[in-house]
Structure 1
Amino acid sequence: MAGSVGLHRVIEPPGVLPQAAWRLDASPEIGPDEVRVRVQRLNLDAASYRQLAEKHAGDGARIRAEVLDIVGTRGKMHNPVTGSGGMLIGVVEQVGPESSLPVKPGDRVATLVSLTLTPLRITDGLRGWDGLSEQAPADGTAILFGRSIVGVLPDDLPPELALAVYDVCGAPALVDRIVRKYRDPTVLVLGGAGKSGSLSLAAAKRAGARTKAVVVSAAERDALRAAAVADEIAIADARDPVAVADRAGTADVTVVCVDVPGCEHGAILATAPGGTVIFFSMATSFPAAALGAEGLAADVTMLVGNGYVPGHAEFAVDLLRTTPAVRALFEARIAGD
């Protein structure tokens, strides 16, 4: 078990799993059940990138320097402020003889586990990245464990697009699972115009739900309206609980996909008694969510979206393929970056 979960890669503190570790051994030599990937592109998660961009006032060079410092210090991309990381794409270089992962050398893959637990070395100084987008061209090595999750990139999607979808593929799959437990539900997505938000709306609509979204601007409203996955769209600051509840009304299932802190209470207030709140944002404060629900006497079930549902990658890619307007949202975001 220790090998399959990467315990032997933990440098400090001893005895914890790789995600909880402060520092990992990112050396490229692999163990018998490990896989080494030649890194081609990183995708920083939205909450982490936003925190870095705000800290450095959008200075790309300083953002790049801090990412290099984090990886060099910790042996993984694990933002010490947000606690989040992202994921990557690359080419499989070597597969250990005891590896159970369904890949072979030469496969172009996306890691479907967080960079916060993936041993990572950057060898090119991120010189191909200007620091001004979540996706960073890179060269280096990453290590996958026996219990890691990995997907071979689909041939019909550009790698940048596939990476963007895989980064959030857990969200729509879990939304689909939860929505199908209700009869004729209403689903509200906070941050509906983003990557995870738009796919969550598409999943809810496919599952037969009435869909509502909260976005922060008229531009996001117009873009989401064109995607035709939200029956209602409200403009509000998701950090303002009263505004969210007043403008969006209530829902049976509320999904939080906003990459800023402070959205917990609005989501709870907008969820009907007996409903479910799904938190997919890494900016979520779970103490604030738990205590807020208690303080509001809210009879709601609150779920942490952990990023993994069996078949989640295939489910998300199929949504993208069958919902062209959502694909257009993703492509516009990548082009804007």
Structure 2
Amino acid sequence: MLKGKTVLLGVSGGIAAYKMPNLARMLIKAGAEVHVIMTKNACEFITPFTFETLTKHKCIVDTFDKNFEYSVEHVSLAKKADLLIIAPATANVIAKLACGIADDMLTTTALACNYPKIIAPAMNTNMYSNPITFDNIQKLKHYGYEEIPPESGMLANGDIGNGRLPNESLLFDYILKTIALPHDMDGMRVLVTAGATCESIDPVRYITNHSTGKMGAALAKRAMLRGAKVTLIAGKTECELPNFVDVIKVKSAEDMYNAVRACAYKQDIIIKAAAVADYTPKIVAEQKIKKNDGDMTIELVRTKDILKS
């Protein structure tokens, strides 16, 4: 999906730097050419050789390294790139970028880059919540950077709070969203239904089908990658639902009918990929139906036809 794309991966000096080889591997597996730029502090957490082994490119650290592939390395890399992502982005690097300081290879390249730029802050929770850091991040957003918000959880020093770098798969999804496909559906609204509906028999039993929801989820993801604002109305699914779409979870055919009717008038495109039950029990027992020696009959009635309506 990233064949022909070039990604610059900037790694600054945070403990979360150890996660970045896996992100580089994911990008390469998706077909991207990856170049890594590290700060000197980042080298205290992971070696450049790790990235060089994965990417088959020299990992750039020293601005005055004489072993450059290009005559003016920071300008050449910036011109070559389709996207720059800095992860982890420390408070120090964020502050330097916000002030236009270019005193190492990473900040110099970032300043020369006219392509999409993403920062993934990772730091102590008090540093992240500091008003100075907040202002610096807002300034970078004003200049066109996109922030991947940190997660809340236990940090390296044992504190609990915001500041933890998200999983590499989320960072990868941000990159896909930005450069994987042309945004030829930008401004369009798309509604997709997916998964199976569940029709209750009693509080513990229901009628459903074997739909996994994979097709609807894939359609929603592809529309999102093309720039559309996507609403995904999902019943029971057996797949991971895509990021960056508005997900509305429903249970029954009636629930899906109401959700679709509420959203339909706003949409440019509606794709019906859900496996909606055609019939539902006429009466739903308030308590679990106890078994007995005889057979059991459940009277079914037609559900509302969402597509027809």
Structure (1 or 2) with the larger CA radius of gyration: 2
- TM-score norm. by structure 1 comes to 0.29
- TM-score norm. by structure 2 comes to 0.31
